[in-house]
């Protein structure tokens, strides 16, 4: 006996007749929604990949641009630091040269020898009284006038001469109301150093006008190299600052880290010791205050170690010692343009990202519409528009595949023709809408007798077809498979059909069941055999009343 095939497993559900055509449409809409959901996921992934790519590339390009900008700023700061250092070296060298030149003047030496120490009784006089006594001497006035012309030409604040009693004998402002002639400058470090070594220098706040100033002194020696006093050149810091020209901020800093001259007043007399190399900052010398410390923090950077936040602003800092002095020159190149550049890069990247998203969405929309249209075309080419079952074309394609597969595996091909007897009568009695619902319900019921690998399709009109593979029948019972299939499918269509407007009893359909050996038969022969068997069955059922009205 042939192998009995169990049709009870993995049955394929079809839409219920309760909703009729609307139920079929819902199934199609579900399929379309699944397609749209897949496209939405693909679009979302594409957008995320795009944003990640744009953000990564944008960040890399931004870092590269900023690196080039930092390199340009560093080169500019290096150049400006070098040129400004040369200028300041010349300024301090010139001050020292002028002090030496005046100290070597014959009249100055003569005056210094004459007033090497204060005359008796001077210690009990006021500054003004001492000034009157000094300026009565024509030589004092003559030397003072020379100092005045020289100071005016070189824009020095003052040039003056002190004796061994630290008293100012003459000065470039001897004739002015603010004359310092007669002023005692005892304990001033630059005077002490000049008398001891021949040269002294210092930065301090002037006693009279409270102006931050530079002092450079030279010793006055006679022909025997005996000291008789000193000549001091005073250069006010605001005037020195005029030499600190350039695009960047220049600072002259003393050994305690105090800014003693600045091209930007914000930094003047503040303290930047934190910018100085470790071990180079000296403790207070007792002469001048350290100044209020600036808020300074290092900025970590993989390429530059000289980036700093100074009072909340970012700078690239270059440091260079000034030759012949105890001072250092700091060049602060502002990096305020970096944050706007980053913001600009961010918005450009965001704009590119947004444009890319718009393009992706438009492309996805176009592709989705094209895909849905293609799906509709494929559906229309392969599925019945009413029952949502495979149509004749799809059935023939699958049947051809089954024949090819059967030749390779030895399985037989099953072809079942099903003709819904009395369908015209149903249309005539209840209308085409009920007829359409009847076709859908018939398809649903037939599906209950299918295995997962069987295919049910609408072959046309009121004809359905089932195809699949079965085991070769036993030679003793060649009709075994056909009988099992008939007994399984035939009862499914028999019974009461309920619709909104009517109900009726249906006596069933005509079946033509062919099980063929693919190696001995063909697709056309199998269809013809099933069709002939179906007509034989129909002929035997002609006397049956196919429908009985229930309501």
Q: Does residue 262 share a domain with residue 320?
A: yes
Count of positions (residues) in the chain: 551
Number of structural domains, the chain? 3
479 pLDDT band, cuts 50/70/90, is low
Give the C-alpha distances (Å, rounded to integers) separating 390 from 308, 342, 383, 404, 529: 75, 60, 4, 20, 21
Q: Does residue 396 share a domain with residue 436?
A: yes
95-109 residue pLDDT tens: 999 999 999 999 999
Selection from 104, 103, 89, 171 nearest residue 135 by Cα: 171
| Model pLDDT, residue 11 | 37
548 pLDDT band, cuts 50/70/90, is low
Residues of the domain holding 298: 244-336
| Model pLDDT, residue 5 | 36
- Whether 393 and 514 have beta carbons less than 8 Å apart is answered as no
In a domain, 397, yes or no: yes
Mean pLDDT of 305-309: 87
CA distance 411 to 516: 9
In a domain, 168, yes or no: yes
Please give the biggest Cα pair distance in the chain: 163
Q: Does residue 402 share a domain with residue 284?
A: no
In a domain, 248, yes or no: yes
Boundary-marking domain end, from 200, 220, 240: 240
Q: What is the DSSP letter of 77?
A: H
480 pLDDT band, cuts 50/70/90, is low
Listed range (15-24, 378-387, 414-423, 516-525) with the worst mean pLDDT: 15-24
> What is the rounded average pLDDT for all residues in the chain?
87
pTM of the model: 0.64
| Model pLDDT, residue 545 | 59
Between residues 549 and 142, the one the model is more confident about: 142
Listed range (28-37, 263-272, 345-354) with the worst mean pLDDT: 28-37
Count Cα neighbours of 353 within 13 Å in the Cβ-side half-sphere: 19
| Model pLDDT, residue 41 | 86
Q: Does residue 270 share a domain with residue 207?
A: no
DSSP 412-478: EEEEEEEE-TTHHHHHHHH-HHHHHHHHHHHHHHHHTT--TT-EEEEEETTEEEEEEEEPPPPTT-T
First to last CA, the chain: 46
Selection from 124, 122, 118, 232 nearest residue 164 by Cα: 118
| Model pLDDT, residue 115 | 95
Boundary-marking domain end, from 301, 336, 371: 336
Q: Does residue 486 share a domain with residue 401?
A: yes
Q: Does residue 305 share a domain with residue 250?
A: yes
266: domain CATH number is: 3.30.450.20
Tokens 């009995």 locate to 4
Boundary-marking domain end, from 170, 205, 240: 240
pLDDT at residue 2 greater than cutoff 70: no
| Model pLDDT, residue 476 | 55
Token pair of 171 as six digits: 């000065």
Q: Does residue 265 share a domain with residue 219?
A: no
| Model pLDDT, residue 433 | 93
Q: Does residue 485 share a domain with residue 441?
A: yes
| Model pLDDT, residue 6 | 40
CA distance 534 to 98: 130
Kind of pairing between the strands at 168-171 and 158-162? antiparallel
In a domain, 95, yes or no: no
In a domain, 353, yes or no: no
Q: Does residue 413 share a domain with residue 517?
A: yes
- Whether 466 and 458 have beta carbons less than 8 Å apart is answered as no
492: domain CATH number is: 3.30.70.270
Q: 3-state DSSP call for residue 244? A: coil
Residue 176 neighbours by CB distance under 10 Å: 11
245 pLDDT band, cuts 50/70/90, is confident
483-523 residue pLDDT tens: 888 899 999 999 999 999 899 999 999 999 999 999 999 99
Mean pLDDT of 453-470: 93
In a domain, 1, yes or no: no
| Model pLDDT, residue 373 | 86
Which residue among 118, 384, 462, 537 is the active-site one? Answer: 462
Q: Where are the alpha helices (DSSP H) in 136-221?
A: 138-154, 189-197
Q: Does residue 543 share a domain with residue 404?
A: yes
- Whether 200 and 191 have beta carbons less than 8 Å apart is answered as yes
User: Which residues face 181 on adjacent strands?
Assistant: none
Q: Does residue 231 share a domain with residue 263?
A: no
Listed range (22-26, 126-130, 343-347) with the worst mean pLDDT: 22-26
Catalytic residue status for 137: no
CA distance 516 to 502: 41
Mean pLDDT of 110-136: 93
pLDDT at residue 36 greater than cutoff 80: no
367-392 residue pLDDT tens: 888 888 888 888 888 999 899 899 99
Secondary structure of 519-546 in the HEC alphabet? CCCCHHHHHHHHHHHHHHHHHHCCCCCC
In a domain, 74, yes or no: no
Tokens 């037939």 locate to 446
58-89 residue pLDDT tens: 999 998 998 899 899 999 999 999 999 999 99
Q: Does residue 516 share a domain with residue 387?
A: yes
27 pLDDT band, cuts 50/70/90, is low
165-174 residue pLDDT tens: 999 999 999 9
In a domain, 489, yes or no: yes
């Amino acid at each position: 006996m042939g192998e009995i095939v169990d049709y009870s497993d993995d049955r394929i559900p079809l839409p219920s007749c309760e909703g009729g055509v609307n139920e079929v449409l819902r199934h199609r809409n579900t399929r379309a929604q699944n397609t749209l959901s897949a496209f939405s996921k693909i679009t979302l992934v594409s957008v995320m990949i795009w944003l990640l790519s744009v953000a990564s590339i944008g960040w890399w390009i931004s870092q590269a641009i900023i690196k080039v900008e930092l390199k340009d700023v560093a080169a500019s700061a290096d150049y400006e630091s070098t040129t400004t250092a040369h200028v300041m070296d010349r300024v301090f060298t010139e001050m020292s040269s002028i002090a030496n030149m005046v100290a070597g003047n014959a009249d100055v030496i003569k005056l210094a020898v004459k007033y090497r120490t204060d005359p008796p009784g001077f210690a009990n006089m006021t500054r003004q009284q001492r000034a009157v006594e000094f300026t009565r001497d024509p030589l004092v006035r003559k030397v003072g006038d020379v100092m005045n012309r020289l100071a005016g030409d070189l824009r020095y604040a003052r040039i003056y001469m002190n004796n061994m009693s630290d008293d100012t004998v003459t000065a470039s402002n001897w004739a002015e109301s603010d004359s310092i002639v007669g002023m005692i400058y005892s304990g001033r470090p630059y005077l002490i150093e000049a008398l001891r070594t021949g040269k002294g220098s210092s930065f301090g706040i002037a006693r009279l006008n409270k102006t931050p100033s530079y002092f450079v002194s030279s010793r006055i020696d006679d022909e025997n190299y005996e000291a008789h006093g000193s000549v001091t050149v005073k250069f006010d810091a605001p005037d020195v600052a005029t030499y600190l020209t350039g695009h960047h901020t220049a600072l002259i800093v003393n050994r305690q880290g105090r800014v003693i001259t600045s091209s930007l007043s914000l930094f003047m007399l503040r303290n930047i010791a934190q910018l100085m190399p470790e071990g180079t900052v000296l403790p207070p010398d007792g002469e001048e205050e350290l100044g209020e410390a600036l808020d300074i923090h290092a900025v970590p950077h993989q390429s530059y170690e000289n980036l700093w936040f100074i009072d909340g602003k970012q700078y690239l800092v270059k440091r260079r010692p000034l030759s012949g002095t105890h001072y250092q020159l700091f060049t602060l190149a502002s990096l305020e343009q970096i944050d706007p550049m980053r913001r600009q890069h961010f918005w450009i990247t965001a704009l590119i990202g947004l444009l890319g998203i718009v393009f992706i969405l438009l492309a996805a929309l176009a592709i989705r519409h094209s895909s849905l249209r293609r799906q509709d075309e494929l559906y229309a080419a392969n599925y019945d528009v009413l029952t949502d079952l495979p149509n004749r074309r799809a059935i023939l394609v699958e049947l051809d595949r089954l024949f090819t597969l059967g030749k390779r595996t030895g399985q037989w091909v099953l072809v079942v023709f099903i003709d819904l007897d009395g369908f015209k009568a149903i249309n005539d009695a209840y209308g085409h809408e009920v007829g359409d619902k009847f076709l859908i319900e018939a398809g649903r019921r037939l599906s209950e007798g299918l295995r997962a690998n069987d295919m049910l399709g609408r072959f046309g009109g009121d004809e359905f077809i089932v195809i699949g593979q079965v085991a070769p029948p036993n030679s003793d019972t060649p009709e075994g498979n056909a009988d099992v299939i008939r007994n399984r499918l035939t009862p499914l269509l028999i019974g009461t059909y309920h619709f909104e407007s009517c109900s009726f009893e249906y006596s069933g359909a005509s079946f033509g069941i062919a099980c063929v050996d693919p190696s001995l038969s063909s697709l056309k022969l199998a269809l013809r055999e099933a069709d002939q068997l179906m007509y034989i069955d129909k002929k035997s059922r002609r006397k049956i009343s196919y429908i009985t009205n229930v309501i």
